[in-house]
A and B are shown apart, each in its own frame.
Chain A
Amino acid sequence: MMYKDTPVILTQTGEVTGQRMIPQAELEHVDAKSYYGKAFRAEKLPLPNLSEIGVIRHYTNLSLKNYGVENGTYPLGSCTMKYNPKINEDSAGLPGFANSHPLQPDSTIQGNLELLWDLEKKLSFICGMDRFSFQPAAGAHGELLGLLLIKAYHEKRGDTKRNVMIIPDSAHGTNPASAMMVGYDVREVKSNEKGMVDIGALKKAIGDGEEIAGLMLTNPSTLGIFDESILEITKLIHDAGGLNYYDGANLNAITMRVRPGDMGFDVVHLNVHKSFSTPHGGGGPGAGPVGLKKILEPYMPVPFVQPDGDKFKLVHESEDSIGKIRGFIGSHGIFVRTYAYILANGRQGLREVSEGAVANSRYIYERVKDYYRVGTTSKTMHEFVISADNLKSKYGVTAMDVAKRLIDYGFHPPTVYFPLIVPEALMVEPTETETKRDLDGLADALIQIAKEAETDPDVIKAAPHNTPIARPNETQAARNPILKV
């Protein structure tokens, strides 16, 4: 593939002076200078006027420097990308959805409200929850909402001493950062040799329990391991008076097979791009809907949908609500895609999604485990973590080198250096939408790289070789920030 130079669009010059997107003015333009007085912008906007073909070629050529899931396997553990059905895009683009306004009267948005209500029922069932809020714009935003609900619950009961959130050391970085955003102190709990929560350490962290607001847990964990003591863990927290928060980043491993509500969780967020299937757009828009048990319902953010006879209405005020964490209802366009995906799968299809996710991950793990260091003997689920520290100590090849070399073999690299508790970690999550040929290709490449580390480590350290750019100088970027033209 030929990669073209793509100078920053603002530095390009067009030979175009006018515009042809909107009709010529029917009315004489307002004299903005005299109308706005000293608030008027004296200088013209410093934006280039470009030709349509120039803009289209620029962004087409930029796009070719990206790798998407339609290029190939994207085993970016914990984050990951799976195939995004095209019909989801068509659904979200229907004018009735895309061109409806959030302030329209309820009578004119019955389709939106019916969809959200039905989706709320579906998600509640899948998660074993009683209600769902659609406000959060992303998983981390869902964590913020979930913790706000927990905090409101304790405060309403006058239980204001509870300011400690217990978080395992294998948790996503967002967990402690979210706890900080609601003013909680974080108490970290170590994992045991099986990669599960150490019950003794948890008991110690709980202490007399009086300060415990709750626990944040991902299950299966970021190591891909299902915590066999989960019922004991959530009970210990409940007995101490705390609530349990389920980080739903890994729900795709257990969809329709285990429900967070049944495990003892009181509140859960989902990352819809991987639990279901919505595009991630190079970093968003995502969505992080939050499911909650009845005890937390009074604190739900507004607005939310409620049936009203045979119609639906939006409820904008609710006495004990935590308020709002963003504008309007939520990322509706993302939920249209989520809804289409659940319809297309049905209950049986969703069970196959989790089965496929686990089967594909286990298969690759079994094929590559002898070539890297593996941390635990616990069976893994939808993702697994291997360590390149065997290659690093012998040949100086790091996890990052392995990741970059995988690009040469046509794959998106796994997540590297996470979870933090595994040195030189490579976290692999293939998802259920890969063919056996893709899976074998990825396993073969990982094995081949381990062999290359012995025979030709330099080719790995110099990787990737055929990309639009070689490895970037990140130190220079941070020391002398150039953040715009």
Chain B
Amino acid sequence: MNGYLPQDRESRRAMLESVGIDLDKLFDMVPEQLQYDGTCDCLNEEGLSELEVIRALEALASKNVDSRRYDSYLGGGIYDHYQPSAIRHLTQRQEFLTAYTPYQAEISQGTMQAIFEWQSYICRLTGLDVSNASMYDGPSSAAEAMLMACRAKRRNRVFVSEGVNPETRQTIRTYLHAVGFDIVVGALDENGQTQQFLPEEGDEYAAWLIQSPNYYGVVEDLESFAEKAHAAGALAVASCDLVSLALLKSPGECGIDIAVGDGQSLGLPQNFGGPTVGYMATTDALLRRMPGRICGQTVDRDGKTCYVLTIQAREQHIRREKATSNICSNQALLATTATIYLAMMGEAGLTEVALQSQTKAMYLRDKLIDTGLFEPVFKGAFFREFALRPVDGVDLKALNEALLDEHILGGYVLPGNMWLIAVTEKKTVEQLDRFVDAVRRLAKKEVAK
């Protein structure tokens, strides 16, 4: 008996008999030696009731530490911003949740228009001409942008700043190595910026990639980066956090050709790193090089405004091995989530989120430095996230362990004993003071050991 099926075996048998088929011979096209009916102790024999299922899942979830019960200072690509209640109520509507890809425009205008709105929001935030319907996540979007640049420039190597998230760099390396292309990584200067270590002219890169704010939270100079990339004949690609763009000049305005990144910070839960949603925006000139689905506005037979998937001839289902990418799914529901977040927050809300995150991050950073235990790793201006280094050899991993006892998830420990700390608008000053107090007490204890 299967609880999710509306028929049992007997009614199924009767149904098939009415058209002359024997239920017991349903699988007789499968060679006998391949028919399989094994058991294993990794699979419960009979299905569990709904109550048993949720109990089992609750038991597993309770073995995790999460940012509702603990104060978390983790970032590194995934951030604990507030998600307005309306979002979950709207995105749990089955019409959004259980629809497939909008292949039939007449009965999927909801998904289509939400995607069109996502594209519009992404263009406004990034200052670029066109956006696609979304990508799997930030790292894979950056990797696709590198391949796109290689196709457009007919070159087969790319330059990537060390300030780009290592998750992204590793993903790019995998995608590029698969087709025999090269990735060259450039170092950061003492400000934590890429400027001094850009490639020489004549190095024949298809693209230069930078991240801003970068992995260490430092804001990069996109304008001079784009200018130098263009002078060297490369496309300028930037991975940008979308919340930060409430305060920072848009990549489009800075002359960037392709902007990519992750939309998790716009109303998505942390979800242990996934699923999130990637974005990609570019200039009109590069539109047809862009991978992924694109939604466009048109009219129906009666002249009524409507939305369709368009410019599809780039895609796998038409071009097969000549497509711009094999990607077919986007992250429609999560793009819709981010879109509803932007609609709920508006200019006022998003700007407030950005300002409070940054103000609180600066407050915490100053207080931690004031303890005399830490010094900043980089001097450059940052957003929401910053890196510290202990001055007297505190073992950060041990400190994080000790902080767990006080229900605090400390910053992420980077190679070289650096502490990457992220602060969002959700933190209160009281929480920040409690963190500083705990660090002061526990770090001294660690040093004393």
Question: Is there an interface contact between A174 and B326, defined as CB atoms closer than 8 Å?
Answer: yes
Cα–Cα, bound, A254→B27 (Å): 9
Residues of B within 8 A of A458 (CB): none
Cα–Cα, bound, A256→B36 (Å): 7
The reply to whether the CB of B320 lies closer than 8 angstroms to some CB of chain A is yes
Cα–Cα, bound, A226→B32 (Å): 13
Q: How far is the CB of B24 from chain A (nearest CB, A)?
A: 10
Cα–Cα, bound, A108→B320 (Å): 44
The reply to whether the CB of A215 lies closer than 8 angstroms to some CB of chain B is no
Q: How far is the CB of B133 from chain A (nearest CB, A)?
A: 7
Across the two chains, which residue of chain B brings its CB closest to A101? B74
Across the two chains, which residue of chain A brings its CB closest to B139? A327
The reply to whether the CB of B184 lies closer than 8 angstroms to some CB of chain A is no
Question: Is there an interface contact between A226 and B99, defined as CB atoms closer than 8 Å?
Answer: no
Residues of A within 8 A of B332 (CB): 281-284
Size bracket, chain B contacts: 35 or more
Name the contact of A472 in the complex, choosing from B33, B298, B342 (C-beta under 8 A): B298
Across the two chains, which residue of chain B brings its CB closest to A30? B359
The reply to whether the CB of A182 lies closer than 8 angstroms to some CB of chain B is yes
Question: Is there an interface contact between A327 and B262, defined as CB atoms closer than 8 Å?
Answer: yes
Name the contact of B99 in the complex, choosing from A56, A66, A93 (C-beta under 8 A): A66
Across the two chains, which residue of chain B brings its CB closest to A351? B37
Question: Is there an interface contact between A326 and B272, defined as CB atoms closer than 8 Å?
Answer: no
The reply to whether the CB of B204 lies closer than 8 angstroms to some CB of chain A is no
The reply to whether the CB of A347 lies closer than 8 angstroms to some CB of chain B is yes
Cα–Cα, bound, A475→B92 (Å): 34
Kindly specify which of A138-146, A200-208, A290-298, A383-391 makes contact with the partner chain: A138-146
Residues of A within 8 A of B171 (CB): 323-327
Cα–Cα, bound, A473→B297 (Å): 10
**A-B CB contact pairs (8 Å), 17 listed:** A39-B219, A52-B86, A94-B57, A98-B270, A101-B72, A137-B331, A257-B30, A259-B36, A281-B333, A326-B274, A327-B137, A327-B167, A329-B273, A359-B12, A359-B15, A483-B297, A484-B116
Question: Is there an interface contact between A177 and B316, defined as CB atoms closer than 8 Å?
Answer: yes
Residues of A within 8 A of B105 (CB): 469, 471-472
Q: How far is the CB of A137 from chain B (nearest CB, A)?
A: 4
Query: B46-77: contact bitstring with A at CB < 8 Å (1 yes, 0 no)?
Result: 11101011101111111111111100101011
Query: A143-186: contact bitstring with B at CB < 8 Å (1 yes, 0 no)?
Result: 11000100100000000000000000000011011111111001
Q: How far is the CB of B165 from chain A (nearest CB, A)?
A: 8
Question: Is there an interface contact between B62 and A96, defined as CB atoms closer than 8 Å?
Answer: yes
Query: A117-147: contact bitstring with B at CB < 8 Å (1 yes, 0 no)?
Result: 0100110011010000000011111011000
Question: Is there an interface contact between B110 and A332, defined as CB atoms closer than 8 Å?
Answer: no
Residues of B within 8 A of A84 (CB): 97-98
Cα–Cα, bound, A93→B170 (Å): 29
Tell which of B114, B223, B363 has the most Cβ of chain A within 10 Å: B114
Residues of A within 8 A of B31 (CB): 228, 230-231
A90-130 residues with Cβ-Cβ distance < 8 A to B are 90-91, 93-105, 107-112, 114-115, 118, 121-122, 125-126, 128
Residues of A within 8 A of B315 (CB): 173
B87-105 residues with Cβ-Cβ distance < 8 A to A are 88-90, 92-105
Residues of B within 8 A of A309 (CB): none
The reply to whether the CB of A190 lies closer than 8 angstroms to some CB of chain B is no
Cα–Cα, bound, A126→B347 (Å): 49
Question: Is there an interface contact between B178 and A181, defined as CB atoms closer than 8 Å?
Answer: yes
Residues of B within 8 A of A329 (CB): 272-274
Across the two chains, which residue of chain B brings its CB closest to A274? B100
Query: A474-485: contact bitstring with B at CB < 8 Å (1 yes, 0 no)?
Result: 101110011111
Total residues of chain A contacting the partner, CB 8 A:
201
Q: How far is the CB of A201 from chain B (nearest CB, A)?
A: 18
Cα–Cα, bound, A282→B309 (Å): 12
Cα–Cα, bound, A375→B327 (Å): 30
Across the two chains, which residue of chain A brings its CB closest to B28? A379
Query: B1-38: contact bitstring with A at CB < 8 Å (1 yes, 0 no)?
Result: 11111110101100110011101001101110111111
B329-382 residues with Cβ-Cβ distance < 8 A to A are 329-334, 336, 339-340, 342-353, 355-356, 358-360, 362-363, 381
Cα–Cα, bound, A108→B66 (Å): 8
Q: How far is the CB of B345 from chain A (nearest CB, A)?
A: 6
Cα–Cα, bound, A332→B318 (Å): 31
Residues of B within 8 A of A340 (CB): 53-54, 57
The reply to whether the CB of A67 lies closer than 8 angstroms to some CB of chain B is yes
Cα–Cα, bound, A283→B110 (Å): 12
Query: B100-125: contact bitstring with A at CB < 8 Å (1 yes, 0 no)?
Result: 11111111111101111101110111
Q: How far is the CB of A234 from chain B (nearest CB, A)?
A: 11
Question: Is there an interface contact between A101 and B67, defined as CB atoms closer than 8 Å?
Answer: yes
Cα–Cα, bound, A254→B29 (Å): 11
Question: Is there an interface contact between A344 and B168, defined as CB atoms closer than 8 Å?
Answer: no
Cα–Cα, bound, A33→B9 (Å): 70
Residues of A within 8 A of B72 (CB): 101
Q: Answer whether A334 and B348 are a contact pair too, CB < 8 Å, given A40-B249, A263-B34.
A: no
Q: Answer whether A96 and B4 are a contact pair too, CB < 8 Å, given A21-B84, A340-B53, A484-B131.
A: no
Name the contact of B381 in the complex, choosing from A39, A63, A109, A407 (C-beta under 8 A): A39
Tell which of B15, B52, B174 has the most Cβ of chain A within 10 Å: B174
The reply to whether the CB of A435 lies closer than 8 angstroms to some CB of chain B is yes
Question: Is there an interface contact between B321 and A49, defined as CB atoms closer than 8 Å?
Answer: no
Q: Answer whether A139 and B329 are a contact pair too, CB < 8 Å, given A32-B358, A356-B7.
A: yes
Cα–Cα, bound, A404→B353 (Å): 45
Residues of A within 8 A of B61 (CB): 94-97, 111
Question: Is there an interface contact between A19 and B93, defined as CB atoms closer than 8 Å?
Answer: no
Across the two chains, which residue of chain A brings its CB closest to B428? A26
Name the contact of A333 in the complex, choosing from B33, B113, B275 (C-beta under 8 A): B275
Question: Is there an interface contact between A436 and B248, defined as CB atoms closer than 8 Å?
Answer: no
Residues of A within 8 A of B345 (CB): 19, 21, 47
The reply to whether the CB of A266 lies closer than 8 angstroms to some CB of chain B is no
The reply to whether the CB of A280 lies closer than 8 angstroms to some CB of chain B is yes
Question: Is there an interface contact between B334 and A140, defined as CB atoms closer than 8 Å?
Answer: no
Cα–Cα, bound, A336→B54 (Å): 11
Cα–Cα, bound, A184→B427 (Å): 50
Residues of A within 8 A of B29 (CB): 225-226, 228, 378-379, 381
Q: Answer whether A347 and B44 are a contact pair too, CB < 8 Å, given A173-B316, A468-B106.
A: yes
Residues of A within 8 A of B60 (CB): 96, 111-112, 114-115
Cα–Cα, bound, A46→B246 (Å): 10
The reply to whether the CB of A355 lies closer than 8 angstroms to some CB of chain B is yes
Cα–Cα, bound, A467→B300 (Å): 11
Cα–Cα, bound, A359→B10 (Å): 12
Across the two chains, which residue of chain B brings its CB closest to A26? B429
Tell which of B139, B177, B270 has the most Cβ of chain A within 10 Å: B270
Residues of B within 8 A of A96 (CB): 58, 60-64, 66
Query: A298-325: contact bitstring with B at CB < 8 Å (1 yes, 0 no)?
Result: 0001000000000000000000001111
Question: Is there an interface contact between B352 and A91, defined as CB atoms closer than 8 Å?
Answer: no
Kindly specify which of B230-238, B287-295, B438-446 makes contact with the partner chain: B287-295
Cα–Cα, bound, A42→B247 (Å): 8
Question: Is there an interface contact between B44 and A346, defined as CB atoms closer than 8 Å?
Answer: yes
Tell which of B111, B325, B326 has the most Cβ of chain A within 10 Å: B326
Q: Answer whether A47 and B350 are a contact pair too, CB < 8 Å, given A29-B355, A283-B101, A483-B130.
A: yes
The reply to whether the CB of B436 lies closer than 8 angstroms to some CB of chain A is no
The reply to whether the CB of B310 lies closer than 8 angstroms to some CB of chain A is yes
Across the two chains, which residue of chain A brings its CB closest to B339? A9
Across the two chains, which residue of chain A brings its CB closest to B110? A66
The reply to whether the CB of B222 lies closer than 8 angstroms to some CB of chain A is yes
Residues of A within 8 A of B109 (CB): 62, 65-66, 468-469
Question: Is there an interface contact between B356 and A25, defined as CB atoms closer than 8 Å?
Answer: yes
Tell which of B6, B16, B68 has the most Cβ of chain A within 10 Å: B6
Q: How far is the CB of A438 from chain B (nearest CB, A)?
A: 8
Cα–Cα, bound, A32→B311 (Å): 40
Question: Is there an interface contact between A47 and B347, defined as CB atoms closer than 8 Å?
Answer: yes
Residues of A within 8 A of B167 (CB): 324, 327-328
Question: Is there an interface contact between A177 and B358, defined as CB atoms closer than 8 Å?
Answer: no
Name the contact of A118 in the complex, choosing from B42, B170, B302 (C-beta under 8 A): B42
Residues of A within 8 A of B168 (CB): 327
